Amino acid sequence: MFKKEINTAPKSKLKSSVQRSLRQSLLSTYPLLNPYIDEILPKKGSLESMKLPDRCTLYVLDSQPLFFQHDTSTLLPHLRLVHRFPSAFPSIRIDRGAIRFVLSGATLMAPGLTSAGGRLPSGVVTERGEGKEGLDEDERWTRELEKGEPVVVRAEGKTEACAVGFLLMGTKEVKEKGKGPVIEDAHYLGDGLWRLSTD
């Protein structure tokens, strides 16, 4: 999605009503952000939006990119936000062999997740809000993720997340099939959005 360089666009301040609706949308999509929401979006903060190519909007607070959305789709966290609050977002882990492909903007394929180094959710927690959702001791997310759900991509042997995008198929289906595309058009480390200056 952001393979090419993005030119800095002018920022516009958002009304407090728009900020409130974005805050609600963020909390409904990522309930684990609840303890951190006042730090991410302070009530008196001045949230700004920046129009990007391909009908994308980036939301910025104090020159810090927070999240973005394509058209009116679900909000996706910027990787800089994911690095600040890694446990607040559902995640999957790719093996070492898939890292270079993901960091070049390629579609993430199922074999990078089903191999020995990959980690798909364990499915211990069956529904949102039931039990403790998060990473278990084996670094697996505890709830199966559905098709179309936003997900963070972590890499084997690395501490920081390397990409974020939407699932093209549910994690249960990835385990069953073991092949096919899982995430495409992700925001990844080093892409145009990562390098974009928001000052």
Give the tens place of pLDDT for each residue, 17-64: 999 999 999 999 999 999 999 999 988 888 999 998 888 999 999 889
Task: State mean pLDDT over 144-150.
Answer: 92
Q: Show Cβ contacts of residue 70 under 8 Å, excluding neighbours closer than 6 positions.
A: 1, 54, 55, 56
Residue type (1 letter), 50 = M
Q: How confident is the model at residue 129 (pLDDT cuts 50, 70, 90)?
A: low
Q: How confident is the model at residue 152 (pLDDT cuts 50, 70, 90)?
A: very high
Alpha helices of the chain — where are they, by DSSP H? Answer: 16-29, 37-40, 79-84, 96-102, 111-114, 171-177, 192-195
Residue 130 has pLDDT above 80, yes or no: no
Enter the tokens of residue 184: 């495409």
What is the end-to-end Cα distance of the chain in Å, rounded? 22
Beta partners for 13?
48
Whether pTM exceeds 0.75:
yes
